[in-house]
Amino acid sequence: MSLITVSVGDTDLVFNADHDDLNQLINTQMPNDKIGPTYNFLVRTVAPESKEDFKRLILTEYNKPKGVLVMQIGGIVTGELGGGVEIVLKKPKA
């Protein structure tokens, strides 16, 4: 498991995520549903000591996830699991 800390404003959120978590996220995403699976991924991987701050930041007053924030945090957490390998598309020479 990787400990990943994401700062949102003045609040640090800690996530415990690994490649199995990332694979589960990717396998549950559908063309018309990205926020739900990403929110579930974050809920599954947020550290217990960050759970209350996470809920306070991520949920609206109607207890719905804030989609843009979900995707921003999810992008940071999943990006850290990418292994740091640089991938570049090389175009064929004419």
- Condensed to tens digits (0 to 9), the pLDDT of residues 11-54 reads 999 999 999 999 999 999 999 999 999 999 999 999 999 999 99
User: What is the reported pTM?
Assistant: 0.87
Q: What are φ and ψ of residue 41, in 5° steps?
A: -60, -45
What would the two tokens of residue 20 be? 């199995």
Residue-level pLDDT at 26: 93
* Domain 2-80 coded CATH 2.40.128: no
What would the two tokens of residue 40 be? 């579930």
